[in-house]
A and B are shown apart, each in its own frame.
Chain A
Amino acid sequence: MMVSTDPMHQFKIGKLFDLKLGDLDISFTTSALWMVIGVLLVIGLLALATSKTTTVPSRLQSLAEIWYGFIAGIVKDVNHAPGKPFVPLVFSLFSFIFIANLIGMFPYFLTTTSHIVVTGFMALFTISLVIVVGVIKKGFGFLKIFVPSGVPFVLLLIVTPIEIISFLSRPISLGMRLFANMLGGHVALKVFAGFVPSLAVALGGIGMLMGGVLVMPLIVGVTALEFLVAFLQAYVFAMLTCVYLNDALGEAH
């Protein structure tokens, strides 16, 4: 048995070949490989789905339209009309995270979204975008999101710092949520799966029976749950991106 039972092993990034950009080490790693594969999968699926659009849609075209309608629906519900230019961005974010999470469900495939660098950067990008869009749209008035209207001045002294802290914690919570969910789910799967051989080694025949009857159904259940989490986390990230964008686009609250 050469398979490592270390639950953390699956998150190790391997270097495939060296690459330098000036002083920066941008080596092509397994993480990069799976990002490229994920993006190619999404683009390939969309290309197939939209290769021949017909009035009565084919299954794939229907899928693409539902996919688009789902994202456009979120943006419309949260941001209304001003959110329309951000539909492609939210669509890309959702698709990128969802495909990365799904790829992670295959054994030996690296889950790129289980790395805080990736999810944290995406979160920082989202929040930076909110700030940039907010300043472009509202100028100095964007700062009003920290000062709720209709609150007495004395309370503002307390509320404003809270609002600022809440705003600053957004990228951390946004990035951490996705990272922790993917990491935790995969660790749990690996640990539960590890019970089967451990029980077999420790208790012999009875252990094998227990592993098969008790632990395997649990692993199947957790795997199903992980598929749900894979979708849910992509959805939550897209949804929160819209909600945060609303600070920049919507009316001051």
Chain B
Amino acid sequence: MLENVFELSIDAESGSYLRETAKWARYFSILGFVCCAFILVMALIIPGIILRNPDFFQVQSQIQTQGMEVGLVVGSILGVAIYLYPCILLFRFSGKLLQALKTNDQSALNAAFKNLRSCYRFFGIISIIVIGIYALIFIIAMIGMAFVRR
């Protein structure tokens, strides 16, 4: 009987904790959507401000300015795309969890946990990538220092 493998349940106590978690997760995801919109708006406004600043052209050439502009916009869009994914997962998690707690819907509870799993897996992979980059920088710095000492 696969259905009865776990004898645990979401009782009144854990239900109240989960309901509060879901509310915070919803708030956090909405904050994430606001941040994404903010970053996108800034990415579209800031290059315009740079282009209108005549002092900037005295220091940088037009090609450099345009390159920076494109880099800023593309970087921001990429950043938003990466950040948007966990926000969507968290939003789905909170929605499904609240639905499960309200209607005792087992499939909604399972869907909520699956979204939470995807969200933590995403953050875990991002953490591994960041740690890998730091480790690479450290190794390159060590090799560089060894060459400088010679």
> Are A and B co-members of a single complex?
no
